[in-house]
Chains A and B, each alone.
Chain A
C-alpha cells in the first residue's frame, strides 16, 4: 500500500476516542498503534475508547493488535475500552478462537462513556 490513511483520534476532556471508519489493513493497524500510544501521553488521559461499530471483519491479526494495544495503553496509564463490536463480528471472532482476553468491552460509545463515569 502506497500510503496509509490516518485514523482520527478525538479528545473529549481526559478521554481519547478512536472511531474506525471501516476495515483496517495491517499497516493501518500499526500506524494507529503508534499514533494512539503517542497521544495517550498528552494531557492527563484516563481512558481510551476504540469504537468498532462500523467494522465488518476483524481477523486474527487485528484481534492480536487490539489485545496488544490495550496492554500497551495500560502500561502508559489509561484504561482502554473496546466498544460496538457487532453481533456477526463477535460470533465470527469466537468461532475463530479470536477473543480479546483482558480487554474491557462495551455495547457502544455511550455505554463505554457510562462505564468510565460509573466504574
Chain B
C-alpha cells in the first residue's frame, strides 16, 4: 500500500461516522441516478466524449457497481484502505490519460452538486440531519478530491521527469570517433544543471573509452552565462587532470565576447574555429594522418 493511499485512508476514517452514515444512506439510495446524471453532464465536455467512445456502457456500469460496493463496505466497517487505493488509481489514470486539470476537477466535483438536492429531499424536515449529511459529504469529497488530485499531479510530474531525462540523454551524446578520440557535440541552451551533466558524461566517457583527446563542439550553443563558461573551463581542467586534452570548437561571436568579458583565463582553453579544424587538430595530437587517395 502506498503512502498516498494510506494517508487518504486515515483522512477518510477520521470523518465523524454519524455524518458519513447520513450522507451515505442517501447516496446509496440514489447511486444509480447520480451516476447516470454525472455521466450525462460530463459527456458534454469534449475530453470525456472521446473517453466515452473507448469504454462501453456495460464496462462503466460494472465499474460503478464495484465502487458502490466498495464504498458501502468502507462505511460499514470503517476500513478505507481499498477505497483509498481506488482513488489513487483514479488519479493515476487521469494523469496518464493527459486529462486537463479543469476536466478532472469537474469530473470529481460534478457528483457533489447532483447529490445535494437528494440530501435536501431526504432530510428537509430535520435541519440537524441535513447539516450532518452535508458536512459528511463535504468531508468525503474533500478527501477524495485531494487524494485524486495529488495522485494526478504526481503522475504528471513523473511523466515530465521521464521526458526531461529523455531529452537530456538525447542532447548529450559522447561519441567515440577514433581510437582515443571522443566528440561531444553540444546543441541548445546550456544551464548549470546541464553543464554539470555534460561534464560528468564526458569524464565518464573518457575513463570508459580511454580517450586522450576530446573535441567539444559548441556551435549549437547560442549563449552562455558566467557560471556555464566557468563550468566549461572546469571541464577542460578536470579532463586535463585525467590525462586528456580537450579541444573546444565552434565558439560563436557572442560566446567569444562573453568569455573575454568575463575575464576567463584563456590560456587554459585549447580552441579551434570549427569542428573540422578541431578534429584535424585532435588527429594530429594522436598521430593520425588522413590523406585523400587519388581517384
Interface on A for B, CB 8 Å cutoff? 82-83, 85-91, 93-95, 99-100, 105-108, 111-112
A56 shortest CB reach to chain B, Å: 14
Whether A87 touches B203, Cβ cut-off 8 Å, given contacts A99-B240, A107-B210, is yes
B64 shortest CB reach to chain A, Å: 56
Q: Which one of A89, A94, A106 lies within 8 Å of B243 (CB-CB)?
A: A106
Interface on B for A, CB 8 Å cutoff? 199-200, 203-204, 206-207, 210-212, 234, 237-244
| A-side contacts of B237, CB under 8 Å | 94, 99
Q: Which one of B204, B234, B242 lies within 8 Å of A85 (CB-CB)?
A: B242
The 9 closest A-B pairs by CB, nearest first: A87-B203, A106-B243, A90-B238, A105-B243, A90-B241, A94-B234, A94-B237, A107-B243, A94-B238
Please measure, in the bound complex, the distance between the C-alpha atom of A36 and the C-alpha atom of B169, giving whole angstroms.
45
B149 shortest CB reach to chain A, Å: 40
* Pair B244/A107 contact, Cβ less than 8 Å: yes
Whether A87 touches B204, Cβ cut-off 8 Å, given contacts A105-B242, A108-B210, is yes
Please measure, in the bound complex, the distance between the C-alpha atom of A107 and the C-alpha atom of B240, giving whole angstroms.
9
| A-side contacts of B203, CB under 8 Å | 87-88, 90-91
B240 shortest CB reach to chain A, Å: 6
Please measure, in the bound complex, the distance between the C-alpha atom of A70 and the C-alpha atom of B251, giving whole angstroms.
34
Chain B, interface SS category: helix
CB-defined A-B contacts under 8 Å, sample of 6 = A83-B243, A85-B242, A87-B200, A88-B203, A91-B200, A107-B210
Tally A-B pairs: CB < 8 A. 56
A52 shortest CB reach to chain B, Å: 10
* Pair A107/B234 contact, Cβ less than 8 Å: no
* Pair A107/B241 contact, Cβ less than 8 Å: no
Please measure, in the bound complex, the distance between the C-alpha atom of A85 and the C-alpha atom of B207, giving whole angstroms.
9
Whether A107 touches B207, Cβ cut-off 8 Å, given contacts A87-B200, A91-B199, A91-B200, is yes
| A-side contacts of B238, CB under 8 Å | 87, 90-91, 93-94
A110 shortest CB reach to chain B, Å: 8
| A-side contacts of B244, CB under 8 Å | 107
